[in-house]
Structure formats: structure tokens, C-alpha cells
């Protein structure tokens, strides 16, 4: 038996042990983290039917928070009602183009944006 073969045999129990430990770690993670990973990413909110239209809810919430900081009188329920009406028969892109054509633009942290998009972002911030 060569020296190389002897070394290879000595490693086998070590590798088996390591693989076993890794398996245990994965099982433990799955046990403790599975409920969190499998649950919805955002807590349920009254605006989820609207927020699902947003491209990126986390970005929307961040922009919405900046808007709310400057617009403390924003009425979420009233805005949601208006948005549901506006988005009932058309996709978000069409509603945005309608805002732009009719000059319904607002500022959020200085960004000049369509009213529909900013209202959705503000609801995302409220829901966060």
C-alpha cells in the first residue's frame, strides 16, 4: 500500500463527519427559519390589492416614506379608494400616462412623478 493510499483512507471518516455536521445545520435552519421564509414577505395590509401592482414594493415604501414626511395630511383610505377606481379598468402604465397627459404630477422628495405612482408608494410606506 502506497503512502498516498494510506492518506486517502484516513480522510474518509473525517469527510463523513463533516458532511453529517452540515446536514444537521441545514435541518436546524429549516426547522427555525421555514415559517419565516414561507410566510408572505410583507405583513398583510388593506392596500395589498393595489400594492401588488408596484414593480418593487421595498423601493416604493422608501420613496413613499419620503413623500409622507413632506405630506403629513396624506389620507391613505381616501387615496386607496381613488386609486382603485383609477386602476380598475387599466394597468398602472396606462394610469401613469393618463396622469402625465393631464398634468397630474406631484413631488416626492423633489422627484417630479405621476400622482398615481406616488400615491401607491405612499400606501406602500403606510403598509410597511
For other proteins, the binding residues (CB under 8 A) are: 54-56, 58-60, 62-63, 66, 92-93, 96-97, 100-101, 103, 105, 107-114, 117, 121
d(CA 121, CA 94): 17
- Smallest gap from Cβ 78 to other proteins, in A, equals 22
- Smallest gap from Cβ 77 to other proteins, in A, equals 22
For other proteins, the closer CB: 44 or 110: 110
Within its chain, how far is the Cα of 118 from the centroid? 17
- Smallest gap from Cβ 19 to other proteins, in A, equals 40
- Smallest gap from Cβ 53 to other proteins, in A, equals 9
For other proteins, the closer CB: 23 or 91: 91
- Burial (CB count <10 Å: 0-12, 13-18, 19+), residue 5: exposed
For other proteins, the closer CB: 80 or 108: 108
DSSP strands (E only) in the chain: 105-108, 111-114
For other proteins, the closer CB: 7 or 86: 86
Tell me the C-alpha to C-alpha distance, in Å, between residue 28 and each of 14, 16, 23, 77, 79: 21, 19, 9, 43, 45
Instruction: Give the 3-state secondary structure of residue 95.
Output: helix
Amino acid at each position: 500500500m502506497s503512502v498516498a493510499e494510506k492518506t486517502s483512507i484516513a480522510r474518509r471518516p473525517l469527510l463523513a463527519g463533516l458532511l453529517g455536521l452540515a446536514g444537521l445545520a441545514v435541518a436546524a435552519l429549516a426547522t427555525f427559519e421555514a415559517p419565516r421564509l414561507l410566510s408572505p414577505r410583507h405583513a398583510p395590509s388593506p392596500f395589498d390589492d393595489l400594492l401588488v401592482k408596484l414593480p418593487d414594493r421595498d423601493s416604493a415604501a422608501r420613496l413613499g416614506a419620503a413623500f409622507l414626511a413632506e405630506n403629513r395630511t396624506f389620507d391613505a383610505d381616501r387615496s386607496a379608494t381613488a386609486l382603485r377606481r383609477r386602476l380598475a379598468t387599466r394597468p398602472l402604465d396606462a394610469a401613469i400616462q393618463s396622469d402625465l397627459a393631464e398634468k397630474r404630477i406631484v413631488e416626492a422628495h423633489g422627484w417630479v412623478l405621476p400622482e398615481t405612482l406616488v400615491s401607491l408608494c405612499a400606501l406602500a410606506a403606510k403598509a410597511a
